[in-house]
């Protein structure tokens, strides 16, 4: 059984994951409007992935006989700048999410909630991948600049991402 503090923290994390999904969906809309369909596709898949993360925690809470209590999701920004700026925002957001996951793990350790610690290991590993991927795209964008054939190559590469 989940402790009250752990249950609240996991419910808060669901909200955070759903916000991430909304944020990336908003970024996808920006890239669609900017005629960068590959970036838009990549962000759409990121949005879906974040939603799936929320559902993973949602299911976990129910497996532990807890109750999910959903709260309002903060409206994400709708206006963004150039691809490099957007990807820098993605990296900073992923670092924030990593901090949230680490705090959950610390709480699970304090509560001696070993099953939650095990479940959170998956998220910790996932966050390492998320930060690396965003960082790699940033480095590529720094090399090619804000326009031209290099940007189109990166757009095409991101458009090839599978689900």
Note the helical H segments in 34-148.
37-63, 83-110, 114-144
The count of other CB atoms within 10 Å of the CB of residue 99 is 11
What is the per-residue pLDDT across 23-58, written as a single tens digit (0 to 9) for each?
A: 999 999 999 999 999 999 999 999 999 999 999 999
Local structure of 27: helix, strand or coil:
helix
**Phi-psi map region of 65: left, alpha, beta (phi>0 left; psi -120 to 50 alpha):** left
CATH (domain of 132): 1.20.1260.10
* pLDDT score for 145: 84
Q: Does residue 155 register a pLDDT over 70?
A: yes
Can you give the residue range of the structural domain that contains 81? 4-159
* pLDDT score for 163: 61
The tally of domains found in the chain comes to: 1
């Amino acid at each position: 059984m989940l402790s009250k503090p752990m249950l609240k923290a996991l419910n808060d994390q669901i909200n955070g994951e759903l916000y991430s999904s909304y944020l990336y969906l908003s970024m996808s809309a920006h890239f669609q409007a900017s005629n960068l369909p590959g970036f838009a596709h990549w962000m759409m898949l990121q949005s879906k992935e974040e939603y799936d993360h929320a559902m993973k925690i949602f299911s976990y809470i129910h497996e532990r006989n807890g109750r999910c209590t959903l709260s309002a999701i903060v409206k994400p920004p709708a206006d963004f700048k150039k691809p490099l700026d957007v990807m820098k925002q993605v990296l900073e957001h992923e670092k924030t999410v990593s901090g949230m996951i680490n705090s959950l793990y610390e709480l699970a350790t304090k509560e001696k909630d070993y099953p939650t610690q095990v479940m959170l290991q998956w998220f910790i590993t996932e966050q390492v991948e998320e930060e690396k991927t965003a960082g790699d795209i940033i480095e590529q964008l720094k090399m090619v600049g804000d326009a031209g054939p290099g940007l189109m190559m990166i757009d095409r590469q991101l458009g090839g991402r599978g689900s």
